[in-house]
Structure 1
Amino acid sequence: MAAASPLRNLEDEVLCSICLDYLRDPVTIDCGHVFCYHCIMKVCESARQPLHCSLCKTAFKTESIRHVWQMASLVESIWRMKADEERQPREERQREQKAEELCGQHLEKLHYYCKDDQQILCVMCRESREHRHHAAVLLEKAAQPHRGKILNHLKVLKGDRDRIQNLQSTGEDEIQALLAKFQNHKQDIASVFEQGHRFLREREQYLLECLEGMEQELTEGRNSHVTKGSEEVVRLGTLITELENKARQPALELLQDPSDIINRYPRKKFWIEKPISPAIKKRAEEFSDKLLSLEKGLRGFHGKLMRDLEYKTMRISLNSQTANGYLSVSPNGKSMVFTGLWMNKYQHGQRFDPEPGVLGSKGFTWGKVYWEVKVDRIWWGAEEEEEAMKYRGETRGVFGSSYVGGFIGITDGYSSPGYRDENEELEEEWSQENGIWPKFCLVGVARESVVRRGFLFTPEEGFWTLQLSSAGVCICTSLEPFQILSYCPRQIGVALDYDGGKVAFTNARTHEFIYEFSSSFSGRIFPFLWLNCMRSRLTLRP
């Protein structure tokens, strides 16, 4: 039996920790542990990426699995040794087992357990002077408490195992259900977009057919117009030639036919026709209205999908430490007004001065985030924006319509902040009549490192903003920004895609897309507001 213990130790070294049997076709992974080839492949097929060793939790890749031929030979040798051991005579093993159960000193069977010395005793040992006065009990009775503890602990371990198996089963069911749900989502996405594509293709074909029909009618009308006009010109040319020849006749010949020449060559009512029929003009105007409606609908669709599907709506507040002294920021940091009075006695290095600007309290270095800015001016009516959109129209659309309106000078520096009274408002109206609209607020984002004492709000300086005034909306990309809307929305949506280098603006009330900046961001990007008008308020939402 002396050789049995080393053999069992060797057996433990060649057992697979997954199937708990001898290694079959052994392979090793990056960490050096060895498994059966089929066992580790089943783990790779059922586990998620990345893969981890079941013993040391070290990550490994399927490509790193290598066969260990030396281990296969060792397993075969140990298996043969065990088979030889099992072929030993039964009587020899019984004698060895009996020898193990005898007292080493008295060669008597072991029946007792000494509680004081925690030793197993035979009858002779129990009666000896050493253990005679100790508490000794039968082996079975002494083992009962230990066996009970083992059984209780075994029950707890089995319960833990069952719970883990139940959790695994439940978790696998949840995972499979969610994966099935994802598959359904894929099908739904493909179906929804296919329906949308089909709908848009049908509408596109409908509009193109309408346009082709009008083109055909207009071409046919032009051909008819040219033909009739040419015929009439020929007829009149013939008549003119005859009369010219008649006029050149001598008086004798002319008087030989004294009949009324005018009656012989009467002036007929010549043909006249409009080149374009009123019906075609009316249909062309209606078609233009349909295109405007399509353009507006697509801008709204673009803005809504961009906000709902791609961006996370953030709760933004303002950092009063960066606010210009003439700005009053609410206690919760959600809104600000231009007071015209210097509110802050102490200067801070973060503060904008003299520009009436302020940064948000939170900057972003990754992700896609969205927030809204509500623009309030006291003299605005509730329906002003809708009326402006209805009657003014927009000056630039997503289909590349030409720009309308004058340029706005951005170098009107904020030299001396103060009240904007009625005279200034009249001056603003006068400026609009002369093609110059002074800004009253800026909405957008800014780099954390922007110069707080400058007055250029361009991307080169770290500002990506829309310029708002009562005359409309402009974008600030250079010293001379240009107008993109002829009305001022009451609520602006700002969508920042840091990783994609984009800042998009939408009309938050109608979801219409307004404009998008493309740039390469570095450092933190903060929400930015600028306000230079009394009786006005900018509010962050939500």
Structure 2
Amino acid sequence: MAWQTQVATKKQKVISEFAHLSQFLEEQQSILLAQLERLDGDILKHRDEFDVLVTGEICRFSTLIEELEEKKERPARELLMDIRSTLIRCETRRCRKPEAVSPELGQRIRDFPQQALPLRKEMKMFLEKLCFELDYEPAHISLDPWTSHPKLLLSEDNQQARFSYKWQKSPDSPQRFDRATCVLAHGGFTGGRHTWVVSVDLAPGGSCTLGVVSKDIRRKGELRLRPEEGVWAVRLAWGFVSALGSFPTRLALEEQPQQVRVSVDYEVGWVTFANAVTQEPIYTFTASFTQKIFPFFGLWGRGSKFSLSSLEGAANLP
């Protein structure tokens, strides 16, 4: 029954994505065809103006040729006496070299392929999203209270966490973080493709760290957030996002994500982050996993919080 539900959900998502793409393609077709119609009209107008100009030049030269032919029959002395006037008229009748296509119109024609960039971007996002929907299994994860730092307040269903400066009465255990305000999810993965969504709500000055960690991650004392320590994560701070590589790298994004989709391909070794609403890629780590990995969350700043969201809920947001 569970498999049937998953198949039905994936089927509905595929139908929804194709319907969205179909509507977008129709809109883009109307926009691009309208632009081509305007270009075609401007080309025809310019061609008519060009034809009128060329016809006028031909008429003027034909008249001059007829006059020269007539003067050719006169005695040489008369022709030479009038030669200066003839040369001046020839000089003033030079062709103005009309342009078949104006520079401005030519530039518009050359720039037209750029108008299809939104179409190419949407197709790329569609294929990436479809690949995720078909190949990645939604991970129904929950937070593990036995690993949670005492300053993190977990909801009863272990789907939300909030930062508090007040320490909770939490029994000490080897699994619990005692310095880094972090928490892991239950279970973990030793293979397959998995994806989940995290909704982040930061207070001014707050931050949230998302990603995966290896099973033997350091729980006591200082935790260095970098791949060499078994941490593959990004940090959302107030106003910017950083990839926590060997050296933290601030990322240039179109907008600050409030919902982040984390996807893991264990065999390939990919940890991918994307804006769950806009599908804008955030960052991808390449790793070589040799042991179980766990979804990982860090939180800082009074009033900052995060929650685990269903993929269905994220997909339905505008």
Distance 1:355 1:283, change over 3 A: farther
Over the matched positions of the two proteins, sequence identity in percent amounts to 31
Query: Which residue number in structure 2 is paired with residue 363 of structure 1?
Result: 188
Asked whether the equivalents of residues 493 and 505 of structure 1 are also in contact (C-alpha less than 8 Å), the reply is yes
Matches within 5 A, 1:456-535: 456-535=224-303
SS of the residue aligned with 2:122? helix
- 1:338 pairs with one of 115, 140, 163: 163
Distance 1:301 1:480, change over 3 A: same
CA offsets 1:265-286 (integer angstroms, 9 cap, x no match): xxxxxxxxxxx96667777887
Asked whether the equivalents of residues 251 and 282 of structure 2 are also in contact (C-alpha less than 8 Å), the reply is no
Name the CA distance, whole Å, in 2 between partners of 1:467 and 1:290. Answer: 34
SS of the residue aligned with 1:305? helix
Query: Which residue number in structure 2 is paired with residue 372 of structure 1?
Result: 197
1:301 matched to 2:107? The reply is no
Query: Which residue number in structure 2 is paired with residue 440 of structure 1?
Result: 207
Asked whether the equivalents of residues 143 and 183 of structure 2 are also in contact (C-alpha less than 8 Å), the reply is yes
Q: How many Å apart are 1:535 and its aligned residue?
A: 2.0
SS of the residue aligned with 2:263? strand
Query: Which residue number in structure 2 is paired with residue 320 of structure 1?
Result: 145
Asked whether the equivalents of residues 149 and 183 of structure 2 are also in contact (C-alpha less than 8 Å), the reply is yes
Asked whether the equivalents of residues 202 and 238 of structure 2 are also in contact (C-alpha less than 8 Å), the reply is no
Q: Aligned letter for 1:465?
A: A
TM-score w.r.t. length of structure 2? 0.59
Asked whether the equivalents of residues 474 and 485 of structure 1 are also in contact (C-alpha less than 8 Å), the reply is no
- 1:352 pairs with one of 161, 166, 177: 177
SS of the residue aligned with 2:248? coil
Name the CA distance, whole Å, in 2 between partners of 1:303 and 1:456. Answer: 32
Q: Aligned letter for 2:162?
A: V
Asked whether the equivalents of residues 242 and 248 of structure 2 are also in contact (C-alpha less than 8 Å), the reply is no
Distance 1:327 1:299, change over 3 A: farther
Q: CA RMSD in A?
A: 3.2
Q: How many Å apart are 1:372 and its aligned residue?
A: 0.9
Distance 1:493 1:534, change over 3 A: same
SS of the residue aligned with 1:308? helix
Asked whether the equivalents of residues 300 and 513 of structure 1 are also in contact (C-alpha less than 8 Å), the reply is no
Matches within 5 A, 1:121-132: none
SS of the residue aligned with 2:146? helix
Distance 1:287 1:525, change over 3 A: same
Q: Aligned letter for 1:318?
A: L
Q: Provide structure 1 residue ranges, at least 5 long, that are not aligned to the other structure.
A: 1-191, 193-198, 214-275, 379-424, 429-438
Distance 1:352 1:297, change over 3 A: same
- Greater RCO (Cα-Cα under 8 Å, separation 6 or more): 2
Query: Which residue number in structure 2 is paired with residue 420 of structure 1?
Result: none
Asked whether the equivalents of residues 190 and 291 of structure 2 are also in contact (C-alpha less than 8 Å), the reply is yes
Name the CA distance, whole Å, in 2 between partners of 1:281 and 1:470. Answer: 43
Name the CA distance, whole Å, in 2 between partners of 1:344 and 1:282. Answer: 68
Q: How many Å apart are 1:442 and its aligned residue?
A: 0.9
Asked whether the equivalents of residues 197 and 259 of structure 2 are also in contact (C-alpha less than 8 Å), the reply is yes
Asked whether the equivalents of residues 240 and 251 of structure 2 are also in contact (C-alpha less than 8 Å), the reply is yes
Q: How many Å apart are 1:290 and its aligned residue?
A: 4.3
Query: Which residue number in structure 2 is paired with residue 310 of structure 1?
Result: 135
CA offsets 1:271-313 (integer angstroms, 9 cap, x no match): xxxxx9666777788765643x246424532441232110111
Q: How many residues align?
A: 215
SS of the residue aligned with 1:444? strand
Q: Aligned letter for 1:331?
A: E
SS of the residue aligned with 1:540? strand
Q: How many Å apart are 1:461 and its aligned residue?
A: 1.0
Distance 1:289 1:483, change over 3 A: farther
Q: Aligned letter for 1:300?
A: M
Q: Aligned letter for 1:375?
A: V
Asked whether the equivalents of residues 296 and 512 of structure 1 are also in contact (C-alpha less than 8 Å), the reply is no
Q: Aligned letter for 2:191?
A: W
1:450 matched to 2:217? The reply is yes
Q: Aligned letter for 2:176?
A: R
Query: Which residue number in structure 2 is paired with residue 152 of structure 1?
Result: none
Distance 1:354 1:280, change over 3 A: farther
Q: Aligned letter for 2:225?
A: F
Q: Aligned letter for 2:235?
A: Q
Name the CA distance, whole Å, in 2 between partners of 1:286 and 1:534. Answer: 51
Matches within 5 A, 1:111-260: none
SS of the residue aligned with 1:353? coil
Name the CA distance, whole Å, in 1 between partners of 2:104 and 2:151. Answer: 59
Q: Aligned letter for 2:253?
A: L
Q: Aligned letter for 2:164?
A: T
Distance 1:283 1:451, change over 3 A: farther
Name the CA distance, whole Å, in 2 between partners of 1:295 and 1:521. Answer: 34
Name the CA distance, whole Å, in 2 between partners of 1:537 and 1:286. Answer: 46
CA offsets 1:378-397 (integer angstroms, 9 cap, x no match): 6xxxxxxxxxxxxxxxxxxx
CA offsets 1:410-448 (integer angstroms, 9 cap, x no match): xxxxxxxxxxxxxxx4xx5xxxxxxxxxx7111111111
Q: How many Å apart are 1:343 and its aligned residue?
A: 1.2
- In our comparison, the structure showing a higher alpha carbon Rg is 1
Asked whether the equivalents of residues 303 and 506 of structure 1 are also in contact (C-alpha less than 8 Å), the reply is no
TM-score w.r.t. length of structure 1? 0.36
Name the CA distance, whole Å, in 2 between partners of 1:285 and 1:344. Answer: 65
SS of the residue aligned with 1:321? coil
